[in-house]
Structure 1
Amino acid sequence: MGTAEHAARLSGTVFVSGTRMLYVGPLVATEHHAHHAAQVVIAPQGLYIEDGANGRIHTRAAVIPPRRLHGHSACAHAALLFLDGDELASRKLSRDADPRCETWGRAPFDANVPRDPTPEMARALLAAILAAIDPRQPPEPRHPAVRRMCAYLDGSDHVNLASVSQEAGLSPRQMRHAFAQDIGLPMRAYLRWKRLRRAIAAVEAGASLSAAATSAGFADSAHLSRVFREQFGITPTQGLSSITWRTLD
């Protein structure tokens, strides 16, 4: 990769619907990364996907479970759907998650990836993807204390772990164990993901990367850039500075 200023950037359209983000347009190559979201990719001309153990496949459609190390090649046109790890569909996909990319490939979905999508086209594509990937078995219900913790964390910008423990009704050790077991992430990693989601939402609303970093609780834009690269395999400049934002809500 070159510097952020000269590296290829995403230049398509992102459609936002609650905890779902659908990108349609050209893809840039990513480094290996992992994030708290299930990822579905449809590339009509195909692309390469790698896991963290040197596995590699070429496919036109793939479903990557949340929190699995992966990277993908560039391609001229694709659809990329992110389903937040807390969402039911993402939790279903994580139930039988496999770290090997050879298990992520799918037969091409019966879904058109338009070149210049309208919100109506994006809604149709989103519905087609969700219908194609929906597993039949539901995930295990979350521990009631974990549900309370997630609700507390979602509603708080400044988190005190002692307060979270009190909210959950568990000791700090019990709290950390229950949270990591149900969510799939340690609480601090989960909080980084939430801050990253807030920073992305701030950019969507028109904030600069520096302002978005500050508003989301990062130390500075360099801190945001490090976390973004760990989670998405590209820099914030590559991922956010040249896309068009649309809402489906």
Structure 2
Amino acid sequence: MVPERLNGTVFLSGTRILYVGPLVATRRHAHHATQIIIAPQGLSIEDGAGGRIHAVAAVIPPRLLHSHGACAHAALLFLDGDDLASRGLSRHAEPRCETWGRDSIDVSVPRDPTPEMARALMASIFAALDLRQPPEPRHPAARRMCAYLDGADDVDLASLSQEAGLSPRQMRHAFARDVGLPMRAYLRWKRLRRAVAAVEAGASLSAAAISAGFADSAHLSRVFREQFGITPTQGLTAVTWRTLD
């Protein structure tokens, strides 16, 4: 029986998050991460245009609308959009879910994974994917802007423009082109990552929202649903947290 909340185990490793356990159905959503799904019994996946596939394994590119059904046991691996592997996988990504299936991937998903099993699972997934093609290089200014925004709660366009060495207009264009998101959306994603880290450290959803720069827990909940298709209560409050680093 599939629960109403995710109640498996979340393994954190830098720009990568691995979840192993039952999945709840999601609404259509999009996030700044490549999402790799391994569902041994198969899973229904939809794209933003109403296309649908039933797949045992799939690679969903970042920033594309999608949703998936529920299943009793699966693995989800999220690679932040800044992760080199994520950028490499998304080089020739298409928005049609027919191109996302990777049923040739033959990876076993353990039931009660230890950290060692989680590392081995991630290694098996990467070994089964074609990661030989490097990502497109980012403009040095885009790299400087990302580094600035990683530690920023509010965007000071003048400071950011000076940091990037570009005019505000050039800065916004270069950032959106190389990163794939407008700066405001990128900052929202980083705040969401900080909120997840705060919950993992033991904070309540309300405290996590404030510490990450959201107005309140309702604001966090709205952004979380937009990015993951479920509520923070469904996604964060019943899982077991483990750190791999």
TM surpasses 0.5: yes
In structure 2, the gaps of 5 or more residues are none
SS at match of 1:198: helix
Q: TM-score, normalised by structure 2?
A: 0.97
Q: 2: CA distance between counterparts of 1:69 and 1:122? A: 27
| 1:76 and 2:69 correspond | no
| 1:223 and 2:222 correspond | no
The residue aligned with 2:229 is 233
Q: 1: CA distance between counterparts of 2:206 and 2:55? A: 37
The residue aligned with 2:42 is 46
Equivalent AA in structure 2 for residue 225 of structure 1: S
CA deviation map 1:163-222 (0-9, x unaligned): 111100101100000000000000000000000000000000000000000000000000
SS at match of 2:90: helix
Mapping for residues 65-144 of structure 1, pairs under 5 Å: 65-144=61-140
Return the match for 1:184 from 160, 180, 186.
180
The alpha carbon displacement at 1:153 in A equals 1.1
Q: TM-score, normalised by structure 1?
A: 0.96
Instruction: Tell me the percent identity.
Output: 82
Instruction: Check conservation: 1:89, 1:134, Cα contact below 8 A.
Output: no
Equivalent AA in structure 2 for residue 147 of structure 1: R
SS at match of 2:7: coil
In structure 1, the gaps of 5 or more residues are 1-6
Q: 1: CA distance between counterparts of 2:69 and 2:40? A: 14
Cα root mean square deviation, aligned = 1.0
CA deviation map 1:11-33 (0-9, x unaligned): 00000011100000000000000
How many pairs align? 243
The residue aligned with 2:4 is 8
CA deviation map 1:102-132 (0-9, x unaligned): 0000124232100010111000001111122
The alpha carbon displacement at 1:77 in A equals 0.1
Mapping for residues 7-26 of structure 1, pairs under 5 Å: 8-26=4-22
The residue aligned with 1:166 is 162
SS at match of 2:53: strand
The alpha carbon displacement at 1:161 in A equals 1.8
The residue aligned with 1:3 is none
Structure 1 residue ranges (4+ consecutive) displaced by more than 6 angstroms after TM superposition: none
